[in-house]
Amino acid sequence: MSFELRLNPVTRCLLSLLSAGLAIFAFPPFGIWQLVLVAWIPLFFAIRGLSARAAFYVGLLQGFGLYAVTLSWMWLLFGPTAIALWLILSLFVALACSLMAGLNLRKVSGVLLGASAWVGCEFFRSEIYALHFPWMTPGVGMKPSYLDSIVGVYGVSFLIILSALLIVGKGRMKLIGVGVVIAVFGATFIQRGIPKNAVINVLAMQNEHAHHIEKLKFTKEEMAKSEEQFDVVLWPEISVEGLVLERESVRERVDEFSNEHEGIFIFGSYVTANETEKYNTALTMQKGGVLGMHFKNRPVPLFNDGKKGTEAKAIDTPIGRIGTPICFDCDHESVIRRMVADGAELILVPSLDAISWTERQHLQHAELFRHRAAENHRWIAVAATSGMTQIIDPTGNRVQNIPLMEPGFMKGAVGLVTGRTFYNQYGWLIGWICMGVTVLVLVRALVLGVINKFKS
């Protein structure tokens, strides 16, 4: 009798929970990222030899265990509704496991299809599905590495899941799996060169509760006591209340500051979209004039976050071409990628993470910016309401930040980078390809199910 057939239901459930436990410690606030390389191995041992239905429930258990703990802060936002949200996220893990159960995982071809099915479900959940939420995936859990600039987060997820499935296999497959793990781990020590041109001085504000009049006062005071000149003043998302371009009193104050300050001024506010809707907007200003605006492409689901923007363009400024994605835009792979493809040499982000969402949420969210920097090889500076206000270099390393939850300013330097990574040009297609393969695997499973039912 094979090993997987000797596993009783209780053992399989314990393996599933072990997998969830290892993954929990891989993500912030623990952040033992090396565990990502082994966290999904127990899950795939647990589903070996199971029917598609049984594998579905084992996967559901692992997903719920992982998300209910890592995303426990959702309870503070949504109350009991958080249980439904954790279940929805878990369903995609369950579906991937169910599809894997119908494949011949003893063959490399089956393992490749299985890894593709996992990433296809992950990509659909993160980028396509209405509640698009790309947190807590194997690729996001890994430390940013050279691989990000080639295959991105979804490609790294593919390699991690592929290695886990191979290790669960037999004979040479185990050795190949270990080799993939070593390669993924080794890639974290290989980095693209960091441009030695971090000469653009940034002053980023972290402040959640102050009115924009107070923010202007605090910023002027901070600049007055500083010996350096700032090329960029960066404020958080929705840091200027109301419709800034249409409320004369607000616009006058913003123009006054913009005229006094030699550099560019980037902040979050609202701009009218139509009679009933408004855009969550990042405005870039200098000397009282608007250099450019970005409308948030990815409004946060379940929140009144404004009308969805559709363009992700670079903005011409005196310091170079910049991109100004807003907060949740950076959780997804496409917005910054499209800005860089349009010529953005630097990414400056107004962001919002409320104090009530807890430090755990802030720490988890901050990791996504690191991967976007590594994927596109760009400096990123973030000004967040209560954190994490940070500067990230083009390899995804956080080089500067200020304490979470505390109002204050971050002073730092960033630089301009030109050119496009392989990921920015071609590697981003991996998620779409895996989703296409997943559809084919799902259709195959449904057809086989109908045929078997007809025969029986």
Range 107-121 average pLDDT? 96
Question: pLDDT, tens digit, for every residue of 291-332?
Answer: 999 999 999 999 999 999 999 999 999 999 999 999 999 999
Asked if the model's pLDDT at residue 390 lies above 90, the reply is: yes
Structural element, H or E, at residue 258: helix 248-260
Strands 200-206, 408-414: parallel, antiparallel or unpaired by DSSP? antiparallel
- The Cα–Cα gap between 8 and 403 comes to 48
Question: pLDDT, tens digit, for every residue of 187-230?
Answer: 999 877 777 778 999 999 999 999 999 999 999 999 999 988 99
Among 1-15, 48-62, 89-103, 433-447, the minimum mean pLDDT is found in 1-15
Range 34-42 average pLDDT? 98
Q: Which fold has domain 200-416?
A: Nitrilase/N-carbamoyl-D-aminoacid amidohydrolase (3.60.110)
Structural element, H or E, at residue 150: helix 148-168
Structural element, H or E, at residue 390: strand 390-392
Please report, rounded to a whole number, the percentage of residues in the chain having pLDDT higher than 70.
Answer: 99
Average model confidence (pLDDT) for the chain?
94
Question: pLDDT, tens digit, for every residue of 342-373?
Answer: 999 999 999 999 999 999 999 999 999 999 99
CA distances from 312 to 151, 298, 338, 447 (A): 21, 11, 6, 40
Please report, rounded to a whole number, the percentage of residues in the chain having pLDDT higher than 90.
Answer: 85
Asked if the model's pLDDT at residue 5 lies above 60, the reply is: no
Asked if the model's pLDDT at residue 233 lies above 80, the reply is: yes
| pLDDT at res. 4 | 56
Q: Which two tokens stand for residue 89?
A: 């996220």
Asked if the model's pLDDT at residue 171 lies above 90, the reply is: no
| pLDDT at res. 291 | 96
Tell me if 380 sits within 8 A of 355, measured CB to CB: no
Q: Domain segments of the chain: what residues?
A: 3-191+427-455, 200-416
Question: pLDDT, tens digit, for every residue of 397-423?
Answer: 999 999 999 999 999 999 999 999 999
Asked if the model's pLDDT at residue 1 lies above 70, the reply is: no
